[in-house]
Every structure is written in C-alpha cells, then in structure tokens.
Amino acid sequence: MTQYEPVIGLEVHAQLLTKTKLFCGCSTAFGSKPNSNVCPVCLGLPGALPVANDEALRLAVRAGIALDLTINQTSIFARKQYFYPDLPKGYQISQYEEPYSSDGHLDVEVEGVKTRIGITRIHMEEDAGKSTHGVGGDSVVDLNRACTPLIEIVSEPDIRSSAEAAAYLRVLRDILVSIGVNDGNLEEGSFRCDANVSIRPVGQEKFGTRAELKNLNSFRFVQRAIDVEIARQTAILDAGGEVVQETRSFDPDTSKTRSLRAKADAHDYRYFPEPDLPPVVISDEMIEEQRAMIGELPRTRKARYMSEFGLSDQAASTLTGHPDQVAFFEGVISTEGTTKIDPKKVANWMLTELQRDIVTERQQIHFPVSPAQLAELIVLVDSDKISGKQAKEVYAGIVKTDTSPSTFVKEHGMEVVSDEGELLAICEEVVAKSEKQVAQYRAGKKGVVGFFVGQVMKATRGQANPKMVNQILTRLLEG
C-alpha cells in the first residue's frame, strides 16, 4: 500500500490481579457459576454504594510507573453513561478528564526497527458483564464480571502497521505479567484490545475517519483484523466513497470485519464526576512502595541475559517472557551447594527437554523437575560422572518425582567409569583384538576410531568416560 498510510491507536483493557471487585467484596474468580459472584453494588441496585478497592489502586499505580507514566496524585472517578444489557447501572464507573496517570511510552521493535509508542493515559474502571447470544435462541447475561477492576491503557495514534500493533501488545503484556499486575490471559478476556484504525494519504497531517475494532483477544487476530480493516478502508476511498466512523467486529473465520454500531464520541457518554466516590489520593509512600516492587523489566532482563550469559535473542526472549520461566532459570543458576553452572546449558535444557514436559494452567507454568534437580543433573555431566546421553535418561527417570539425579544414578548403576587404569586395560584389550582396524587407522583412516570407542562402550555397558576413552585410544593407536 503506497497511496495511504495507516494510523492506529490501541486501547488495552487489563484486569487487575485482585481477589475482589473494584467497588465491592465479590470474588473475581473466573469460571464460577453464572451470576453467582454478585451483590447489590455490582448489580446496581438502588441505595447500594461503591467503596474503592485499595489493592486495585496499588496495582494500577505499579503499572503506571512501569510504563513511565506520570502518576497524578489526585484523580477522580466519573460516570460513563451508556445503555447495554450487561451494564446493570446504566453507566460505567471509569476515569476520564482526571485519570490517575498520563503521558508515558512503550518502545517496540519490528524487524530491527525501533519505534516509541506514546501512551496517552492509563485509567481505572470497572468491567461490564458478559452477554452471550444465541443460547437456545435467546441472549443471556452473566454479571459475574461486572465491577471487575480494569486498567485501560490508551496509546497515542503512533502505530503505523499491524506488525507494530502486535509487537506493542506483546511487550505490554510481558511487562504487566512480570510485575504481577495482570495474568496476560487473552482467552479468558483478562487482557483484551480495541483497535482504532484509519488511513490517510501519504504526507497528509490530518487523520482519516477511524473505525474501532472491538475485543480482539489474540495477537494474531489483532494483526489480521487491522490488515483487513486497512484493506476495507482503502477500497472505499479508491472507489470515491467515505469511511464512516463506527464500531466493528472481526470474524476470524471469514477474515472480515462487520459493523456493530455507530461509534460514539466522548461527549456522547455524558461524563460527570461520580458523586458516590471521593477523589483518589495517591501518596508519595504508595508510589515509592510500588516502584520498589517492579524489579527488572523483561526487556532489561533480556538484554542482560544476552550480554552477561551469551544467550541468543530467541533464548533470552523465551526465558524472560514469563515470571515463572525467569524464577526457574535464576533458581537453577543460583542453586547453593553446587559449582558454578553455565547459564547456556541451563537455557538449553529448559528450551529442549523441559519445554516438552511443562504444563501451563491458568497462565502459570508448572515445571517437570525442580531447579535444584536440574542444577544437580548439569553438575553430574560437567563433573564427568554421567554422560550427556545418560543425563537424558536420568531426566526421564526423575520427571515429576522428588528423586535426586545422584540417587537415580546410584540406584541404576549409571555412574561413569573414570578410573584411568581400568579404562586403559579395556582399551588395550580392544586394540589387541582389532588388528585390521588398527591398520586402517594407521593408514590414515582416522574415522575408524569410532569403532574402538564403540567397543569400549560395549565392554563398559556405556558407562566409560567418553573423553578419557578418546584420549587413551589416541595414545594407543598413535603408538
């Protein structure tokens, strides 16, 4: 596309990891029986008054700091008024003119090109319920999600491609998950995105008319939906038509967007300050407390793993993509009572053998062995007590058990034979019985050494130290 330039802004709704809702004590547990986690407050019954959740505020502040936003120490909640079956009060408690944070940014990289995406604001708000259509020919509403605490992260319209949009979302999710603010679960809707998409002639400063794509719940769908919408708007303009400002949905089965309703502007929601809630006041102490809880962010940790440990970009990205991966990796390399472990070996084990056996449940990663077990296994190989091949057998034997690798090795008689005298005698016997192969070796056919190694391994039931065997055989064969 050369005639038009896409202009994209994203609105991300991230559910805060609290046990209770934003303005009441109902549970936020996912998967409960429909309409079981509700009370007069989240049902919007007359006379019920909201009380703000302090933990939600703390998590929101942490997110704002991590994304380099300015924390506004006084902000207010507002009523955003619209009418929909899953909004029982007829309005949503949100923030608008005075959000708790503003003016941040996020750096992303696509195909080696780095771009800074501005973040207009992050504000707190309550979620709506969930409408499900076509159930026995009817539409049903589950209000368990109503009043669940969210932060809405509103980007500047700085994104110029669907690939940039997907990269932005991945980096954003990694940060929120790493600081313990959000679980990053797109399937359950706790991390979801609306995309505002417009196009304009290349070189034009004025924005085109935008369409909003609602509730995109996978990075792949975000990218596809934006590309489809860009193509739709391009076709309209090329045909001499005008793009209409509206809200649209994306159907992944047909790869098409379809109109849902006319897109409202801010004044259509008739915002006004929420009279039942006092202003939100954020103290200096809370800001510093949450700043201290952020720790090393994924991008910084990835760069450190690459420079300090020599890991590849792909390995470092995988290991820093989830806090559970980070905790396991760092748990292995810092295991007490072991010699210094090569982080590259740890990464290799995690990304090959362990990767096949990990179980992910509700965005938590469960590993098949403990950090201490993997550390001990690597040390056994490094100290030549078992071979690399045997290490895989030991690993298979200790998966999902508390058995230590050393215990497994002893119980199964797997310890490597590293006694030089014993190995010398075996090698001498193998060489003495293999006159034809000795002649071939001394005639220059060095590859035949594999034959001798195989015979020694056979004689020791695979337990000979391969390094020592090669050294001894070389001495014998070279005369």
The residue among 84 and 176 whose pLDDT is bigger is: 176
Please report the pLDDT score of residue 1 as a whole number.
46
Gap between the Cα atoms of 280 and 118, Å rounded: 24
Q: What is the DSSP string of 169-235?
A: HHHHHHHHHHTTS----TTTTSEEEEEEEEEEETT--S----EEEEEE-SHHHHHHHHHHHHHHHHH
Domain layout of the chain by residue ranges: 4-289, 296-411, 420-477
User: Nearest 5°: phi and psi at 271?
Assistant: -60, 140
- List, for residues 99-139, the tens digit of each pLDDT value: 999 999 999 999 889 999 999 999 999 999 998 887 777 88
pLDDT band at 268 (very low <50, low <70, confident <90, very high): confident
pLDDT band at 338 (very low <50, low <70, confident <90, very high): low
pTM of the complete model = 0.84
Gap between the Cα atoms of 473 and 452, Å rounded: 8
Tell me the pLDDT of the chain averaged across its residues. Answer: 92
Beta pairing partners, 246: 211, 262
| Closest to 452 measured CA to CA, from 415, 427, 471 | 427
Residue 215: partners with Cβ closer than 8 Å, 6 or more residues away? 189, 192, 193, 194, 249
- Which DSSP letter does residue 386 get? S
Gap between the Cα atoms of 220 and 218, Å rounded: 5
Helices 219-238, 162-178: axis angle to 10 degrees equals 150
Residue 7: partners with Cβ closer than 8 Å, 6 or more residues away? 157, 159, 160, 197, 198, 199, 200, 207, 208, 210
**What Cα–Cα distance (Å) separates residue 385 from each residue in 353, 377, 459?**
20, 10, 18
- List, for residues 304-332, the tens digit of each pLDDT value: 999 999 999 999 999 998 899 999 999 99
Gap between the Cα atoms of 363 and 366, Å rounded: 10
The residue among 443 and 11 whose pLDDT is bigger is: 11
Gap between the Cα atoms of 121 and 136, Å rounded: 41
The three-class DSSP label of residue 40 is coil
Q: Which CATH architecture has domain 420-477?
A: Orthogonal Bundle (1.10)
| Contact (Cβ atoms closer than 8 angstroms) between residue 98 and residue 76 | yes
Q: Give the sign of the dihedral formed by CA 181, CA 304, CA 161, CA 116.
A: positive
Most confident of 256-265, 303-312, 338-347, 351-360: 303-312
Name the helix (H) or strand (E) containing 115: strand 113-126
Locate 169 and state its tokens.
């979302």
Percentage of residues in the chain having pLDDT higher than 90: 74
Gap between the Cα atoms of 446 and 137, Å rounded: 78
Gap between the Cα atoms of 1 and 464, Å rounded: 64
